[in-house]
Every structure is written in C-alpha cells, then in structure tokens.
Amino acid sequence: MTSRIALVTGATQGLGTALVAGLAQRMDPADTVYLTGRDAARVGTAVSSLPVTSAEVRGEVLDVSDPDSVTRLAAELNDRHGGIDILFNNAVMRVGPDDDPRAIVEEYTQVNNFGTTRVMRAFAPLLREGGRLLVVASSLGSLKFLAPVLHDRFDGLSSLDAVDAATAAWRDQVRDGSARAGAWPGFVNIPSKIAQVAAVRALAAERRPRDTERGILLASVCPGMMNTPTSALWWDVSDAPTPEQAADPLLPLALDPIKPEHYGELIRDGAVLPWRPAT
C-alpha cells in the first residue's frame, strides 16, 4: 500500500495540534502528517512538542490567508507525493467579545472563510482515491442559527465562488455597520461557520458523482465546545473536553471506512446535523 499523506491547517495549538498527534499515532510509519501554521517558529515548537508518533510529522508554513502560501504548498506536496489523502481545514482567527466586528471582519473572513475556500480549491484536486477533506466548522454552522430571511444567502449555493460572494456581501455589511441594523447575528462566528458549511456543501454538489466512485469524503465537522484559549475568551470552558478529547471522534472520519450519508454534511459525533431547521 502506498504511504499516506495528511495535512492539518492551524496546527500550532489547540485542536489542530491534537488532530496531528491523533493522526500520527494512528497512521503507519511510512505515512507523513504535515503540521502546518502561519509562523515558522511556532510550527517548529509544535512539532517538537509532540510525543513519539508512529507516522512521521513534518512542519510546513501555511498561512491560509495568503493565496501564494496556499498554492505554493499544494504544488510542493503534489511534486513530493503526487497527492494527499487527508486534510483537516482547522485554522481560525482568534477573536474575543471585546473585538469590534467592524474592525476584525476583514482578517477574520480572510482566515476562516476565504482561507477555507482557498485551501479547498488548492487541495481538493490533489485528493487520492479514498481521500478525506474535512472542514472543522461548528454546530453553529447550521441555518437554524440564522434569521429565516437570511437563509437564501447561504442555502443552495452551487460553487465556491458563490459562497465567497455571499461571504463578501456579509463582510461588507459588517464592515459598514449595516449588518447590526439588519437581521445578522452580532456574533461573527455564526455566519462564518455557516459559510464554511455552505462551502463544503457547494463543493460536494460539484464533486459528488466522481468522489463517490473514488471513495472520497468531503464533510464539515463539529468538534463541540472544548477548552482552548479561543473559547475561554467567551465562555467558562474549564470543564469542557480538552482538544485531544475533542479530536477523538473526528479521527475516524479521516481514518475509518467512510459512511456515504456523511458526504457533504456537517458531522458531530458520527451523526449528521441538519443543515436546514425542521419545518
């Protein structure tokens, strides 16, 4: 069997590091897991912080907000390995309750949303037979968290370009302050996570027939509330699962035989979360 290649974005801390550790423990010695992040020193520190693993872990700089960084690493991995097998799109920009959405929304969407679609465009074509592309979203990524009048902004979109356009329209309204006067939620995480799930649904709609033939899974995944510095800015998460515990139910989606009903959907603890609210 050929050696497998996995990659995790935003893996210098939190869930990303835990996903790298979990993959590298469960994969084979001939396999490689890329621990990636936007800062070379932090990537190096995270790689050296890992316990002994079965698969090799290699660090690479990947700033998902930088188009060149994304296309360069995708081309390098294609040259080096001829494709990839597992990708967790996990990177997130940390924001807190004191941040003014108008001031942060440009960078926030560049990392969380345009970064996600950028990674999907660059790496999805590299997926080999049986490959997995998993976008770490949230249970907030379902339409029930958006006012019904806004559902059609993200529902039924059939391309990543259409998702980017919907995200840009929301971002512009946050930036000019008009979102606050409308029905948009004040918590930028909600539309951002809905847009990530919409991006997976759009790419899945395009790729489903061929991916089904090749045994490829595209899905968004929900890790649940966990104890990381990002969530601690908003909530008391002292009793929440650790990133390692939260990574545990996500790893089977990357490593175990796929379930066809997961294709294109948002998955939490192995179950599909509904995209549209029950009528």
* Residue 129 neighbours by CB under 8 Å, 6+ apart: 214, 215, 216
Q: What is the rounded distance in angstroms from the CA atom of residue 190 to the CA atom of residue 19?
A: 23
- Near ligand NAP by CB under 6 A: residue from 142, 167, 220, 228: 228
Task: Put the strands of the sheet holding 127-136 in their side by side order.
Answer: 56-61, 32-37, 5-8, 84-89, 127-136, 217-221, 266-268, 271-273
In the complex, residue closest to ligand NAP by CB:
14
Residue 243 as a binder of ligand NAP (CB under 6 A): the answer is yes
C-alpha to C-alpha distance for 252 and 164, rounded to whole angstroms: 29
We find the least distance from the C-beta atom of residue 45 to ligand NAP, in angstroms, to be 9
Among 5, 6, 7, 14, binds ligand NAP (CB under 6 A): 14
For residue 212 the two structure tokens come to 């089904």
Q: Which of 20, 55, 91, 119 binds ligand NAP (CB under 6 A)?
A: 91
Stretch that binds ligand NAP, among 21-29, 70-78, 91-99, 170-178 (CB under 6 A): 91-99
| Position 15 contacts ligand NAP (CB under 6 A) | yes
Query: Phi and psi of 192, rounded to 5°?
Result: -65, -45
Report if residue 13 touches ligand NAP, rule: CB under 6 A: yes
Q: How far apart are CA 109 and CA 83, in angstroms?
A: 27
**How far does Cα 184 stand from its chain's mean position?**
22
138 near ligand NAP, rule: CB under 6 A: yes
Q: Which of 4, 6, 38, 47 binds ligand NAP (CB under 6 A)?
A: 38
Under rule CB under 6 A, residue 225 binds ligand NAP: yes
Binding site for ligand NAP (CB under 6 A): 9-16, 37-39, 42, 62-65, 90-94, 111, 136, 138, 223, 225-226, 228-231, 243
